[in-house]
């Protein structure tokens, strides 16, 4: 069977590092086994879903290189949910309820006060048709719950957490449909996973109890003749930050914010691919190398801490690996492969290239030099010989002529030529500056 995974975001905001990690791991799980990675837009919440967020999700996945093999939108599959709902209704697996949110909260508080699990008491199951008719006559529409089978424990072998077992009697029958006819997450997700042939569901550990409930939904849907089979499940530890669980509200951790500040997609993926695993986080730019080490057996149970500083370090290391062709369209005018190679080691973000390229294009502002350094720079202008390796030739000639070496030799030259105390390798930078401009800068510094 072809391994098929899915990423199912709700288009209520931009992607952030938490759900990017989920998308990445599902992509890796599928690709590692030559399978399919699908995108499902969970947009049944018409009030909160936004079309611009759908477009942003697609754009972000493309930027990350996690383009799906197929896409579905729940808003276009409503007839499938209706058909599944009617099948479950005929099988007696969904039932009508009328409690208000306030009534349910009161019941919950009473149970907690008694030291009992705050689960739904199934009071609506005692209603008869006469009761339902009275509610309808009063204009009160029902919401619908899925009826859990309390006969056997719900068990599965989780790909990360190992054997799992839940007593269904300790779980609430979940609401699957609101009084206005709209759908909650549970049932449409199960219907779609069956229809899309999803074989593996990899998601955050906050869905573990949902999985227990959905396994019975899957089984009920299959028994009702809707086809498919129950997928395998794996639940990874959640990402946490300095303030606890990450959230869509943390805009600085959104994909758009990462792009705006110059984070490379390879850096973000290299970090997120291994956070929460026993493998070291390394600046691995090649997808095949990341895939080679991907294994659910390496995933741990402890929360994985997202460190923005670590992302910056990984990003700098990735930038230092990037070939000219990969960044050419983002570099300042006039910078070629030699220029990129010269300044690349000094960059943390590709966007910094323009500032470093100014060392070549000018103008530069050298410091005020002592008289002896001005004389040294005048000698440098005189001895400048533009051969195959002008920097080393100049340094050798000056050393012989002046006796200077080390910092006393190199620092005044760098300052005069670039206006800085540090920077790119001068052996690479000087040919880019050019003979005439280099001599002009040395003479100008000597005369200042």
Q: Tell me what pLDDT residue 1 has.
A: 78
373 to each of 290, 399, 412, 427, 443, how far by Cα in Å?
52, 14, 7, 21, 12
- Quick: pLDDT tens for 167-185: 999 999 999 999 999 999 9
Distance CA 317, CA 344 (A): 10
148: its two tokens: 């859990």
137 to each of 130, 132, 140, 178, 432, how far by Cα in Å?
10, 9, 7, 19, 85
Between 138 and 245, the more confident residue is 138
Helix (H) or strand (E) run with residue 380 in it: helix 371-383
CB 231 within 8 A of CB 201: yes
Residue closest to 428 by CA, chosen among 389, 381, 395 = 389
Distance CA 291, CA 102 (A): 49
Q: What is the mean predicted confidence (pLDDT) over 110-132?
A: 96
- Quick: pLDDT tens for 71-120: 999 999 999 999 999 999 999 999 999 999 999 999 999 999 999 999 99
Q: Tell me what pLDDT residue 47 has.
A: 83
Q: Is the dihedral of CA 266, 272, 277, 280 positive or negative?
A: positive
118: its two tokens: 């705050």
CB 158 within 8 A of CB 164: yes
Helix (H) or strand (E) run with residue 18 in it: helix 17-32
Buried b (16+ CB within 10 A) or exposed e, 162-186: eebebebeebbbbbbbeeeeebbbb
237: its two tokens: 């530890």
404: its two tokens: 């200077």
Range 374-377, long-range pairs (CB < 8 A, 24+ positions): 374/445, 374/446, 374/447, 374/448, 375/446, 376/402, 376/404, 376/412, 377/412, 377/413, 377/416, 377/442, 377/443, 377/445, 377/446
Q: Is 346 helix (H, G, I), strand (E, B) or coil?
A: helix
Helix and strand element counts for the chain (H, E): 19, 13
pTM of the model: 0.90
- On the question of pLDDT at 160 being above 90, the answer is yes
Q: How many CB atoms lie within 10 A of CB 126?
A: 8
- Quick: pLDDT tens for 279-292: 999 999 999 999 99
Domains of the chain (ranges plus CATH)? 1-87+184-321 (3.40.50.620), 324-360 (no CATH), 362-447 (1.10.10.350)
291: its two tokens: 């895939």
- Quick: pLDDT tens for 245-277: 665 445 568 888 999 999 999 999 999 999 999
248 among the known binding-site residues? yes
Distance CA 28, CA 276 (A): 15
117: its two tokens: 């699990």
Q: What is the share, in percent, of the chain residues with pLDDT greater than 70?
A: 98
Q: Tell me what pLDDT residue 14 has.
A: 84
- Quick: pLDDT tens for 294-353: 999 999 999 999 999 999 999 999 999 999 999 999 999 999 999 999 999 999 999 999
CB 29 within 8 A of CB 3: yes
Q: Tell me what pLDDT residue 251 has.
A: 53
- On the question of pLDDT at 371 being above 90, the answer is yes
Q: Tell me what pLDDT residue 325 has.
A: 97
Q: Tell me what pLDDT residue 247 has.
A: 52
The DSSP output letter for 173 is P
Distance CA 235, CA 224 (A): 27
Specify the length of the chain in residues.
448
- Quick: pLDDT tens for 2-49: 999 999 999 988 888 999 999 999 999 999 999 999 999 999 888 888
Give Cα 162 to chain centroid, integer Å: 25
Strand partners, 4: 36
Q: Tell me what pLDDT residue 244 has.
A: 64
CB 261 within 8 A of CB 253: no
Q: Tell me what pLDDT residue 246 has.
A: 60
* Residues near 155 by beta carbon (within 8 Å), at least 6 away in sequence: 163, 164, 165, 166
- Quick: pLDDT tens for 212-258: 999 999 999 999 998 889 999 999 999 988 766 665 445 568 888 99
Q: What does the mean pLDDT of the chain come to?
A: 95
242: its two tokens: 């300095």
341: its two tokens: 């190679």
Burial class (CB in 10 A: 0-12, 13-18, 19+), 23: buried
Residue closest to 69 by CA, chosen among 127, 7, 117 = 7
């Amino acid at each position: 069977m072809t391994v098929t995974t899915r990423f199912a975001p709700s288009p209520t905001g931009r992607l952030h590092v938490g759900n990017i990690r989920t998308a990445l791991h599902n992509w890796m799980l599928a690709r590692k086994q030559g399978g399919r990675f699908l995108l499902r837009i969970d947009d049944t919440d018409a009030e909160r879903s936004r079309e611009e967020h759908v477009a942003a999700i697609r754009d972000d996945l493309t930027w990350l290189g996690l383009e799906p093999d197929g896409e579905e939108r729940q808003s276009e599959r409503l007839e499938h949910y209706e058909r599944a709902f009617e099948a479950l209704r005929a099988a007696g697996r969904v039932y009508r309820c009328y409690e208000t949110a306030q009534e349910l909260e009161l019941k919950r508080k009473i149970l907690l006060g008694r030291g009992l699990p705050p689960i739904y008491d199934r009071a609506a199951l005692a209603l008869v048709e006469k009761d339902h008719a009275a509610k309808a006559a009063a204009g009160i529409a029902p919401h619908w719950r899925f009826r859990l089978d309390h006969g056997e424990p719900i068990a599965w072998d989780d790909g990360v957490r190992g054997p799992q077992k839940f007593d269904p009697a300790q779980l609430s029958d979940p609401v699957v449909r609101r009084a206005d006819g709209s759908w909650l997450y549970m049932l449409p997700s199960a219907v779609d996973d069956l229809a899309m042939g999803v074989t593996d569901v990899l998601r955050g550990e906050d869905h573990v109890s949902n999985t227990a409930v959905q396994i019975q939904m899957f089984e009920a849907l299959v028994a009702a003749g809707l086809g498919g089979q129950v997928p395998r499940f794996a639940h990874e530890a959640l990402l946490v930050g300095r303030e606890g669980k990450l959230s869509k509200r943390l805009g600085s951790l959104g994909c758009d914010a990462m792009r705006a500040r110059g984070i490379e997609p390879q850096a973000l993926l290299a970090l997120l691919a291994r956070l929460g695993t026993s493998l070291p986080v390394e600046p691995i730019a090649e997808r095949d190398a990341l895939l080679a080490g991907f294994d659910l057996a390496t995933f741990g149970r402890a929360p994985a801490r997202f460190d923005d500083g670590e992302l910056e370090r990984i990003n700098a290391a990735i930038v230092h690996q990037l070939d000219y062709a990969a960044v050419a369209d983002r570099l300042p005018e006039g910078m070629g492969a030699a220029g990129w190679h010269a300044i690349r080691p000094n960059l943390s973000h590709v966007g910094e290239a323009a500032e470093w390229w100014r060392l070549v294009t000018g103008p530069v502002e050298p410091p005020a030099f002592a008289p002896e350094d001005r004389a040294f720079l005048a000698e440098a202008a005189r001895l400048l010989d533009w051969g195959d390796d002008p920097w080393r030739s100049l340094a050798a000639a000056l050393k012989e002529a002046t006796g200077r070496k080390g910092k006393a030799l190199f620092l005044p030259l760098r300052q005069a030529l670039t206006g800085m105390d540090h920077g790119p390798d001068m052996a690479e930078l000087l040919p880019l500056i050019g003979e005439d401009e280099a001599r002009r800068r040395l003479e100008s510094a000597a005369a200042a």
